[in-house]
A and B are shown apart, each in its own frame.
Chain A
Amino acid sequence: DQQVKQNSPSLSVQEGRISILNCDYTNSMFDYFLWYKKYPAEGPTFLISISSIKDKNEDGRFTVFLNKSAKHLSLHIVPSQPGDSAVYFCAAREAGNMLTFGGGTRLMVKP
């Protein structure tokens, strides 16, 4: 049973436009959510996070939105750049520390 799902395996966006990556979860006990970016042959790199008591967190070009009632979060990248091309994983944490990851979305930003 997948508790964290990223239903879009891939997304293609033009440079300069907005990229929106989505993530759904089923476990209402998750209290913290994170996005990681992963380039080939590298480990995941932390990008941005949000606590369950907030509905938005912004860091430069990256904004994460959390809709608790819908059990849905999204990552917005504006403007998208070719260097943003990578696999993006959302992850959720229950009270404690174990992370549950989604399956990832491959983002391709075309110049």
Chain B
Amino acid sequence: DSGVTQTPKHLITATGQRVTLRCSPRSGDLSVYWYQQSLDQGLQFLIQYYNGEERAKGNILERFSAQQFPDLHSELNLSSLELGDSALYFCSSNKRVTDTQYFGPGTRLTVL
């Protein structure tokens, strides 16, 4: 158990819908990162937050957004969903940005 929690574990929705994925970092960790893993591919970095502020952006679509709240949990919002958005979404956290990132168990999103 990495100490990073993600909910829900599974999510099935339809095209055009909007969903919210939630991540709670390890106790004391200030940074949260979001990654997308499409079928049999590596993890693609989406976005990073540090202590409530956006720190870095990767290959994140404009339909996707995220935020980190004062209690340091983070939410990833995916809107106008398309079939190609079906993937595993992982979050990770660390205390200092140079520390090892520890990953949550992921949310499997299926868009029908």
Q: Which residues of A contact B (CB under 8 A)?
A: 4, 6, 9, 32, 34, 36, 41-46, 49, 89, 91, 96-104
Contacts and interface: CB of A to CB of B under 8 A. Distances in A.
A96 B58 CA distance: 13
Contacts of A96: 56, 97
Interface string B84-112: 00000010101001101111111000000
Interface of B: 2, 4, 6, 31, 33, 35, 40-45, 48, 55-56, 58, 90, 92, 94, 97-98, 100-106
Nearest to A91: B43
B102 A46 contact: yes
Given A103-B41, A103-B42, A98 B58 contact: yes
B2 A45 contact: yes
